[in-house]
Amino acid sequence: MKKTISIRLFKTLLKAKALLSEEAQKRMADFVLSQRMEDGSFMNKNGQSDLYYTAFGWMLSYVLDIPSDRRRMDMYLSRQETKEMDLIHYAAFMRCRMIRLLMDSGGRVKWLFRSFSATEIKPLEDFTGVPHNDIHSPYTQFIWLSLLEDTGNRIKDKKEVLHLLESYQAVAGGYMNSTDGITATTNATVAALAIKGQFEGYNDNTDIHFLYNLQAPSGGFAATQASPLPDLLSTATALFMLSCYGVKPKYVAKDFIEAHWLDSGGFSATLMDETSDVEYAFYGLLALGTDGDFN
């Protein structure tokens, strides 16, 4: 069975959990619980219920064995108006739905994807909004591919997608999310590499070496080469992609990751931040799992 992006994410998160002590797992689980709303959803940075953050919260709840009220989860999903959602929120909704089904499978990730029937979804062009307002950008195509995989669908025009990605390649290497950009970004490069990996296999190429060389001696990755400091999101996603390609990072990232682990049990976005949310708790755990592949 071909691994979907979600399967790769779940396996990495579970690997990270296995590396943590019981005390560390409890500290993170307590933080995740502190972010959960009465209706079973999860809060955003403003303390409001948010579907996007709920997808991260439900993933962490599954991985960390946090008891969840499945009836409340079902009710929450039933209240969502999906027709007018943008691509990001619709993808989050379908991932929440997938996680809810996963909980009924007894935790067997492979079982879920083998028995997950295809769900009809509307064309990409019909969504009310997509990242960067560009349906062809690497990040939009990454989200679209993840959504198709999570709903049991397939991309029929792989060659065309790969051809269009070429328009977003930066002259010096890597990818941009805009065809009129100048330099590559970590986000776009990771997204493009994920698409190429899922379509053609995670084989050695110049773009993965470009990503490899973006790592700072601290162990972190910055969003862009002009960013003042590395951040956890860029680091987690870059390490995850290096791991998918079987490429050992240039520098050990453990100290960088742990420096972002707060006393609350969550993870901060950068060393300048003192707060967290379930999105960054997810990225912290993901980074720990990918870094653990080579240390």
Residue 85 has pLDDT above 90, yes or no: yes
- State percent of the chain over pLDDT 70: 94
Is the separation of the CB atoms in 146 and 121 below 8 Å? Answer: no
Kindly tell me if the per-residue pLDDT of 176 is higher than 90: yes
Q: Which of 294, 253, 286 is nearest to 11 (CA)?
A: 286
Tokens representing residue 149 in the block: 């995989």
> What's the sign of the alpha-carbon dihedral 14, 52, 151, 158?
negative
Closest CA to 54 of 72, 23, 65: 72
Task: Please check the confidence at residue 77 and state whether its pLDDT lies above 50.
Answer: yes
Q: Which residues pair with 43 in a beta bridge?
A: 49
Return the CATH fold of 5-291.
Glycosyltransferase (1.50.10)
Burial 85-122 (b: 16+ CB within 10 A, else e): bebbbbbbbbbbbbbbebeeeeeebeebbeebeeeebe
Instruction: Look at residue 112 and tell me whether its pLDDT is greater than 60.
Output: no
Q: How much is the pLDDT for 295?
A: 47
Mean pLDDT calculated for residue range 17-38:
97
Each residue of 208-221: pLDDT tens digit?
999 999 999 999 99
Domain locations in the chain? 5-291
3-state SS class at 136: coil
pTM of the model: 0.94
The CA distance from 234 to 91, in Å, is 20
| pLDDT tens digit sequence for 266-291 | 999 999 999 999 999 999 999 999 96
- Of 27-36, 104-113, 150-159, 233-242, the poorest mean pLDDT is in 104-113
